[in-house]
Structure 1
Amino acid sequence: MPRPGAALLLCLVLLSLPEPPAAESPLQLPTPQNVTIYSYNYQNLLTWAPVKVDNGSVLYTVQYNTLACDWWEEINCTNITKTECNFTDPDIKRFWTITLRVRAELGQVKSDWVETNKFVADKNTTIGPPVIVNVDSTPDSLFLNFLHTVKEDTLQYLVRYWEQSTNKQHETEWTKNTRIGLLNLKQLTVYCFQIRAKVQVFDDNIGPLSKTKCHKTAASGAMRAGFVVVIFVAATVTVVILAIVCFLFIQKFHQVVKYWFQPPFKIPPHIGEYLKGAEMPVLEELQNNCAEEDPWDSLSVFSSAEESQSLVSDTLNTNVHSNSRSIESEKT
């Protein structure tokens, strides 16, 4: 048996020896960065920056839990290659308070989990403005008809409006109706408006205002009648002025107008060819006579009553003699 001193010395030597190196654990992936939740009209999206590695394709897994349940559950984002996860899941209620977490995986190598802040869709989603379908205009009001992509009974709407020429703004009351009237307006005036929506919860989630749109109010019946009268009077005055201008133009340029409507006589070409073959220069004589003649505008006949009666009697006697002569010739 070894002596006690030797045994003690051996124990001291063994204790002084360094410990053997432990087995190396696999390398750990870096955690995803910039983990952010985006939510618009209850469409929920979790995004993060990609984890870069030298070799291989990194996969990601997303889980969630609620205040009522202390364990983590998977959603439709397990072993995915995309750096985003749409967690608009009907099983995840809008009023639940949830927390999400994401990690990177490369084979057996995994990163640590990265958790998000607590998220409640009813409070944290952005409620966008509704879409205006049409605007009905009357002389003293505008009626806005709109729809929203979110079908939720807790949605309410408000309209901010103002006259385009001023900066004084007005707001309607919050209402669930999808038709809002802007009343007591000026006729034939342009008004601009914006609309917004909110979710009525414990802390109201009010969405942003829509883009500015403008519309003009209509005219009243009396004003439309006045416009018709003004247009009729203006048209009548215009016609009278044009008639006076035309009359003065004709009076001043009488010869020119007469020349336009009574151009110089010209012998037709086929008659001219025929006359060229005649012995007498008839064509030249006709043309010269026509050029020298000044056509009359009117013809006036003045006669006394006695001359008219004698003219009628002479005409009748002439007709009787001519008829008797024709009858005698037929007998012979």
Structure 2
Amino acid sequence: MPRPGAALLLCLLLPSLPEPSAAESPLQLPTPQNVTIYSYNYQNLLTWAPVKVDNGSVLYTVQYNTLACNCWEEINCTNITKTECSFTDPDIKSFWTITLRVRAELGQVKSDWVETNKFVADQNTTIGPPVIVNVDSTSDSLFLNFLHTVKEDTLQYLVRYWENSTNKQHETKWTKNTRIGLLNLKQLTVYCFQIRAKVQVFDDNIGPLSETNCHKTAASGAMRAGFVVVIFVAATVTVVILAIVCFLFIQKFHQVVKYWFQPPFKIPPHIEEYLKDPEMPALEELQNDCAEEDPWDSLSVVSSAEGSQALVRDTLNTNVHSNSRSTESEKT
């Protein structure tokens, strides 16, 4: 049996000994810190800070439970090395109230579980704005066509719009339609708008506004007809003015215009060289020779084949006698 003095001394020394820390304890790991849930457009992600140890690689396991069944179930995040876990699982409904927990593991050594707050995807996810597909414009309306990446029937949409030259804003009613018309607008006016979405079940889960888009309304039929008339009148006046200017220009610069359109005739070089030949008869001699010759005309009347032959013979005889007489006159 131990002596009473030694036992008393041991009891006095035990409280003063330092306790081993959790990191040094072979039976316990530190718990993951900064456990947070991020959710955007129903894409759910659980993240946490890594647990640091001197030796080995720490693994992590994530579990969840629901109010309907107070039992912990595993998801696709068991013995993972990453410090995040995506729990966008179709088996976990968006309207369920769930709680998640995570712990660190190193061989047989495990940390305590760290639980999150209760999470409901319909209520806690952030609903991003839809994407504009196209805008149809009329003289007094703009029709916005858009789509959302979330395929949920519980989403509703609202449009905030204003005239670009003013700060007075208007809002449409919440609707499930992905085509919204902005009515009673001014024609040929630029309007700007933003769109946001929300979950129909939870009125407080309203997403942020989209980027500002601006479009211009079209012109009415009467205004388009007025534009056509104005353009026609302007074109007519322009043509008349140009015609008057051209007429006055021609009157003032008649000789210049005539020179442009009727340049002086120039004899081709080969003909001019031929005319300068000294052996060529003078132009006056050619004219006198032409004047001395008696012009004659021949008239032929064809009535039958025999008459035609006789007429041809008479014509040939007449030409022969004429040529002989001209020859005799040249000899004399």
Give the TM-score normalised by the residue count of structure 1.
0.74
* Counterpart-to-counterpart distance in 2, 1:292 and 1:331: 15
Deviation at 1:292, TM superposition (A): 32
Q: Distance in 1 between matches of 2:248 and 2:298?
A: 21
Spell out, residue by residue over 1:64-85, the C-alpha distance to the aligned partner (whole angstroms, 9 max, x if none): 1222333221100112222221
Identity of aligned residues (%): 93
- SS of equivalent to 1:222: helix
Please give the per-residue CA displacement for 1:174-220, whole angstroms capped at 9, x wherever unaligned: 11222211111111111111111111225542111111111111111
In the alignment, the residues of structure 2 paired with residue 34 and residue 118 of structure 1 have an alpha-carbon distance, to the nearest angstrom, of 16
The question of whether the paired residues in 1 share the 8 Å contact of 2:23 and 2:30 is answered with no
Report if the CA contact (8 A) 1:275-1:282 is conserved.
no
Residue of structure 2 equivalent to 1:287: 287
C-alpha contact (below 8 Å) 2:156/2:199 kept by paired residues: yes
- Which 10-residue stretch deviates more, 280-289 or 25-34? 280-289
Change (3 A) 1:87 1:290: farther
- Does the aligned pair in 2 maintain the 1:275–1:283 contact within 8 Å? no
5+ residue gaps in structure 2? none
| Consecutive unaligned residues in structure 1, runs of 5 or more | none
Deviates more, 1:6-15 or 1:226-235: 6-15
Distance change (3 Å), C-alpha of 1:247 and 1:118: same
Note the C-alpha offset of 1:314.
27
Give the Cα–Cα distance (whole angstroms) in 2 for the partners of residues 67 and 106 of structure 1.
31
Residues 120, 181 of structure 1: alpha-carbon distance in 2 compared, 3 angstrom cutoff: same
How far apart are the structure 1 equivalents of 2:212 and 2:297? 71
Does the C-alpha gap of structure 1 residues 193 and 101 become closer, same or farther in structure 2, counting only changes over 3 Å?
same
Q: Secondary structure at the match of 1:205?
A: coil
Q: 1:94 to 1:266 in 2, by over 3 A?
A: same
Matched residues in 2 for 1:251 and 1:306: separation? 66
RMSD value, Cα:
10.2
Q: 1:229 to 1:178 in 2, by over 3 A?
A: same
Deviations 1:262-296 (A, max 9, x none): 22333323334545665689999999999999999
After TM superposition, the score normalised by the length of structure 2 is 0.74
177 and 12 in structure 1: CA distance in 2 versus 1, 3 angstrom threshold: closer
Change (3 A) 1:297 1:324: closer
Greater shift, 231-240 or 175-184, is seen at: 175-184
> Aligned in 2, Cα 1:208/1:326: closer, same or farther, shift over 3 Å?
farther
- Once residues 214 and 131 of structure 2 are traced to their aligned partners in structure 1, the CA distance between those partners, rounded to angstroms, is 14
Q: Comparing 50-59 with 248-257, which one deviates more in the overlay?
A: 50-59
How far apart are 1:104 and its partner, in Å?
2.6
| Length, aligned pairs only | 332
What is the CA-CA distance between 1:238 and the residue it aligns to? 0.9
**Alignment correspondent of 2:48:** 48
